[in-house]
């Protein structure tokens, strides 16, 4: 079943860090990877992220599954950018009819692929180690996001797995009525639409009931809410954010020193 | 502990012409425990929503007053707790303890006091797990007890219960009633409960108020007196009055075998034991077999496999005249052999009108137009759906939707009909209608299999019972 629990050991060092601190660290790393257009900066960042994995408490196998789509995406990015680069520079590596790949274009493509990898890996590391409830708490308390938004989103998230189960039930009930898509793509599309409609009717009713239940427990009262769990930045949380910024600065500095650094404009 | 008062109260839902309730005058004394009775459409839920302050200006039009402790109910929200019927749609948070804390946070309880109150409330309802237990891993009965803890933790002066056990299996319902009994004995709060199953809740209340259509007062007084005087008429309106006899429709002699299950087994990947394990049975024309057993014993899985709706890991379900096992039949052919009626009727509706809904199965099966039309007319008439022929199925009442789902499954004239909890959450009147309808279908020679927790339904109709435990057949085997 689809669940929303984080896929990691909750006592691991990174899992215990404050969600806002993690958010800041992910933002720093992703922004750096986005701004730096060379291949060395993202490569260094990726190495640091790889070194951080043991501290995240994420099981490697689970992480690999989460990131499987990413390798595909990054690979596609490299190929597309190498193939369709505005100008092919450097040594020609491959020429086949109209297809031509040069070393310069391949390097640029690889850099872009690496940058995608860095941003995605950082995001997965941050979110897979964060409980959605803690994130909502932190956003509300530390970043003053409105509770109607954060808790509303949280309540909706709780209903998501139910939708999966309900989709299954509706599909089964349709077969009992004599309705089945088979191989006909048109029928398949129509059945999908009608199943989706039934699912939405149910979901909207359930959301209405949930909203009433939340209000019945005082969610819409004007009183400022208190918080059962306090989320704040401790010394260790500041340290992680600082470390992330330092790593970014270090990677950029190394790239500048090596002479490869360029800025994406 | 507060007094509650309705003064000339009326409510019209936005977009409706008729008032849901009108001219309601009621007073409930501080600390009283009241059972509110009435048929569907008598506005019981509207009255509870009014007391909980959930009827806002933009959702309808109000006349008269609703007072809690002499002040408008809308301003007294913090003093009222409301437990809804559906456990699934009243839990907010992913962790059990957080869900109880949610109501306290809204009330601005100081953080230091929140957790002690959460623990006390969880203990009061007999919650068997710690506060970190994920809410999605709870059974219906456990979820409902957690929701009750969420109500109690706010220490309401007025507790409102809207059919708190209607969506639960008997075991879960029993646990919730235990929790209510314990919690209410410990509290001085005024309490108003809406419930059809009167016998189950009678020892918790000291006064019964019976409402008629539109909220008119029919009876008011001590429980015993009201039930003695108005029992018959309340039962006729759909209330489960204890002591009023239930109908019984014993079957005639069973005919030929209409469906056979041989060694049916279904193991979900990753599960530690099969959901259904080597079950063999035969179902004959003109009989109703009840499938019973505790939650998770494989009842619904049996219905899915017998209906050809899931692929068994091993074993087959077959009907005479089909060489292929049911799960390999194309859907349009399957519907002419075995009909399945699901717990939620709305999942089955596939067309915009009641009439089309009935014509759907026959059309899929390729019946000629005149035969289809005759069949639809017959079903509309027999299931008293004729006045609703052009209505949208999604707008029907609970009882009507249930009748339509049965009619839809029967439309293509299958010899076998499978029912999953057909009487779940129905009031007594609808229940009686369903018993009669099912008995008629059976006596015309259809073979019926009904998955049910409802002892009364099984007693009224079933010739025999298949009892499942842990996925295996416990008694009532093959022939």
Do B204 and B335 fall within a single domain?
no
Question: Directed axis angle between helix B96-106 and helix B140-153, to 10°?
Answer: 30
Do A34 and A132 fall within a single domain?
yes
Taking an 8 Å cut-off on Cβ atoms, the answer to whether A206 and B118 are in contact is: no
Does residue A57 form part of some domain?
A: yes
A102, containing H or E segment: strand A99-102
Q: Residue A145: how many CB atoms within 10 A of its CB?
A: 15
The pLDDT value given to residue B220? 92
Average pLDDT over residues A86-94: 76
User: Which domain does B218 fall in, by range?
Assistant: 4-236
Facing A202 at nearest CB: one of B109, B346, B348: B346
Question: Cα–Cα distances in Å, from B47 out to A84, B38, B82?
Answer: 68, 12, 12
Which residue, A224, A136, A137, A225, is CA-closest to B105? A225
Residues of A in contact with B412 (CB under 8 A): 178
What is the band of A265 on the pLDDT scale with cuts at 50, 70, 90?
low
Check if the beta carbon of residue A227 is closer than 8 Å to that of residue A150.
no
Do A112 and A159 fall within a single domain?
no
Residue of B nearest to A196 (CA): B347
Task: Render pLDDT for B230-278 as a digit per residue (tens, 0 to 9).
Answer: 888 888 888 888 888 888 888 888 889 999 999 999 998 888 899 999 9
User: Which domain does A163 fall in, by range?
Assistant: 145-216
Task: Render pLDDT for B205-237 as a digit per residue (tens, 0 to 9).
Answer: 999 999 888 788 888 999 889 988 888 888 888
Does residue A227 form part of some domain?
A: no
Do B202 and B305 fall within a single domain?
no
Do A44 and A104 fall within a single domain?
yes
Do A132 and A201 fall within a single domain?
no
Domain count, chain A: 2
Enter the pTM of the model.
0.86
Do A103 and A199 fall within a single domain?
no
Does residue A265 form part of some domain?
A: no
Does residue B49 form part of some domain?
A: yes
Dist. CA A13–CA A55, nearest whole Å: 6
Taking an 8 Å cut-off on Cβ atoms, the answer to whether B90 and A206 are in contact is: no
The DSSP output letter for B206 is S
The pLDDT value given to residue A6? 56
Do B188 and B289 fall within a single domain?
no
Do A56 and A121 fall within a single domain?
yes
Do A64 and A109 fall within a single domain?
yes
Does residue B249 form part of some domain?
A: no
User: Strand B207-211 relative to strand B416-420: parallel, antiparallel, unpaired?
Assistant: unpaired
Do A128 and A240 fall within a single domain?
yes
The pLDDT value given to residue B476? 52
Question: Does A3 score more than 70 pLDDT?
Answer: no
Dist. CA B339–CA B353, nearest whole Å: 20
Our measurement of the distance from residue A133's CA atom to the centroid of its chain's CA atoms, rounded to an integer in Å, reads 16
CATH number at residue B17: 3.40.50.300
Do A23 and A91 fall within a single domain?
yes
Taking an 8 Å cut-off on Cβ atoms, the answer to whether A180 and B330 are in contact is: yes
Which residues are B469's β-sheet partners? B472
Does residue A225 form part of some domain?
A: no
Do B272 and B155 fall within a single domain?
no
Domain count, chain B: 2
Taking an 8 Å cut-off on Cβ atoms, the answer to whether A225 and B84 are in contact is: no
Q: How far is A84 from chain B (nearest CA, A)?
A: 45
Dist. CA A26–CA A3, nearest whole Å: 23
Check if the beta carbon of residue B206 is closer than 8 Å to that of residue B223.
yes
Does residue B352 form part of some domain?
A: yes
Task: Render pLDDT for A10-19 as a digit per residue (tens, 0 to 9).
Answer: 788 888 999 9
Does residue A224 form part of some domain?
A: no
Do B98 and B65 fall within a single domain?
yes
Helices (H) and strands (E) in chain B, counts: 14, 19
Do B140 and B69 fall within a single domain?
yes
Do A102 and A132 fall within a single domain?
yes
Helices in B286-337 by DSSP H: which ranges? 299-306, 331-337
The pLDDT value given to residue B88? 87
Dist. CA B222–CA A60, nearest whole Å: 66
Do A156 and A187 fall within a single domain?
yes
The distance between the two most distant Cα atoms of chain A, rounded to a whole number of Å, is: 71
Facing B108 at nearest CB: one of A158, A174, A226: A226
Dist. CA B38–CA B209, nearest whole Å: 9
Question: Does A94 score more than 80 pLDDT?
Answer: no
Q: How far is A151 from chain B (nearest CA, A)?
A: 8
Q: Which of B119, B166, B347 to substitute to test the interface with A, most A CBs within 10 Å?
A: B347
Residues 6 or more apart whose Cβ sits within 8 Å of residue B242: B198, B199, B202, B227
Does residue B245 form part of some domain?
A: no
Does residue B344 form part of some domain?
A: yes
Do B393 and B284 fall within a single domain?
yes
Do B265 and B148 fall within a single domain?
no
Check if the beta carbon of residue B275 is closer than 8 Å to that of residue B238.
no
Backbone angles phi, psi at B265, to 5 degrees: -140, 135
Q: What ipTM was assigned to the predicted interfaces of this complex?
A: 0.86
Do B171 and B316 fall within a single domain?
no
Does residue B120 form part of some domain?
A: yes
Q: Which parts of chain B sit beneath pLDDT 70?
A: 475-479
Q: Which of B49, B57, B89 to substitute to test the interface with A, most A CBs within 10 Å?
A: B89
Taking an 8 Å cut-off on Cβ atoms, the answer to whether B114 and A226 are in contact is: yes
Q: Residue B100: how many CB atoms within 10 A of its CB?
A: 33
Do A128 and A28 fall within a single domain?
yes
């Amino acid at each position: 079943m689809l669940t929303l629990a984080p896929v990691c050991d909750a006592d691991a060092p990174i899992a215990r860090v404050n969600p806002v601190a993690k958010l800041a660290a992910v933002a720093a790393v992703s922004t750096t990877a986005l701004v730096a257009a060379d291949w060395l900066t993202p490569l260094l960042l990726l190495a640091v992220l790889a070194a951080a994995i043991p501290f995240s408490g994420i099981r490697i196998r689970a992480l690999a599954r989460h990131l499987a789509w990413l390798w595909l995406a990054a690979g596609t990015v490299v190929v597309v950018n190498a193939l369709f680069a505005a100008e092919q520079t450097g040594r020609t590596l491959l020429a086949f009819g109209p297809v031509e790949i040069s070393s310069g274009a391949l390097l640029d493509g690889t850099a872009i692929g690496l940058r995608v990898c860095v941003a995605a890996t950082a995001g997965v590391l941050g979110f897979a180690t964060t409980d959605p409830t803690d994130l909502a708490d932190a956003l509300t308390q530390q970043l003053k996001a409105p509770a109607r938004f954060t808790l509303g989103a949280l309540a909706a998230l709780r209903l998501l797995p139910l939708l999966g189960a309900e989709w299954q039930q509706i599909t089964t009930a349709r077969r009992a009525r004599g309705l089945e898509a088979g191989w006909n793509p048109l029928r398949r599309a129509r059945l999908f639409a009608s199943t989706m409609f039934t699912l939405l009717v149910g979901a909207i009713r359930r959301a209405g009931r949930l909203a009433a239940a939340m209000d019945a427990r005082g969610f819409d009262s004007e009183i400022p809410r208190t918080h059962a769990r306090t989320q704040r930045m401790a010394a260790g949380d500041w340290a992680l954010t600082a470390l992330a910024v330092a790593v970014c600065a270090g990677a950029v500095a190394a790239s500048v020193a090596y002479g490869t650094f360029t800025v994406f404009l | 502990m507060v007094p509650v008062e309705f003064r000339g109260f009326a409510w019209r839902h936005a977009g409706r012409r008729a008032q849901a309730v009108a001219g309601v005058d009621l007073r409930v004394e501080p600390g009283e425990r009241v059972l509110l009775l009435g048929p569907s459409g008598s506005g019981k839920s509207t009255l509870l929503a009014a007391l909980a302050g959930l009827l806002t200006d933009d959702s309808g039009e109000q006349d008269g007053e609703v007072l809690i402790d002499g002040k408008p109910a809308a301003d007294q929200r913090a003093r009222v707790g409301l437990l809804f019927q559906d456990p699934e749609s009243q839990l907010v948070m992913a962790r059990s303890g957080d869900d109880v804390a949610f109501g306290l946070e809204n009330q601005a309880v100081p953080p230091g006091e929140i957790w002690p109150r959460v623990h006390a409330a969880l203990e009061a309802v007999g919650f068997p797990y710690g506060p970190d237990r994920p809410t999605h891993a709870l059974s219906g009965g456990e979820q409902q007890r957690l929701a009750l803890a969420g109500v109690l933790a706010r220490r309401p002066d007025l507790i409102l219960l809207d059919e708190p056990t209607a969506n639960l299996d008997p075991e879960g319902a029993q646990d919730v009633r235990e929790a209510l009994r314990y919690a209410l004995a410990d509290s001085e709060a005024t309490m108003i409960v809406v419930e059809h199953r009167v016998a189950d809740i009678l020892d918790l209340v000291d006064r019964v108020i019976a409402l008629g259509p539109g909220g008119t007062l029919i009876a008011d007084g001590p429980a015993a007196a009201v039930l003695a005087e108005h029992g018959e008429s309340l039962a006729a309106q759909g209330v489960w009055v204890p002591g009023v006899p239930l109908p019984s429709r014993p079957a005639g002699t069973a005919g030929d075998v209409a469906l056979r299950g041989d060694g049916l087994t279904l193991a979900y990947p990753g599960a530690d034991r099969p959901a259904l394990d080597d079950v063999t049975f035969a179902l004959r024309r003109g009989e109703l077999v009840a499938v019973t057993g505790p939650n998770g014993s494989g009842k619904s899985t049996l219905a899915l496999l017998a209906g050809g709706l899931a692929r068994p890991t091993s074993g087959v379900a077959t009907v005479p005249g089909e060489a292929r096992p049911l799960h390999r039949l194309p859907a349009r052919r399957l519907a002419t052999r075995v009909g399945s009626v699901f717990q939620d009727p709305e999942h089955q509706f596939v067309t915009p009108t009641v009439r089309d809904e009935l014509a759907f199965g026959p059309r899929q099966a390729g019946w000629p137009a005149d035969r289809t039309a005759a069949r639809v007319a017959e079903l509309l008439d027999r299931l008293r759906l004729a006045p609703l022929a052009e209505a949208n199925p999604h707008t029907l009442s609970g009882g009507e939707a249930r009748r339509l789902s049965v009619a839809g499954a029967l439309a293509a004239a299958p010899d076998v009909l499978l029912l999953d909890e057909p009487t779940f959450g129905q009031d007594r009147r609808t229940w009686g209608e369903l018993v009669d309808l099912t008995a008629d279908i059976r006596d015309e020679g259809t073979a019926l299999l009904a998955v049910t927790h409802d002892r009364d339904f099984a007693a009224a109709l079933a010739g025999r019972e298949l009892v499942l435990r842990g996925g295996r057949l416990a008694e009532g085997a093959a022939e």
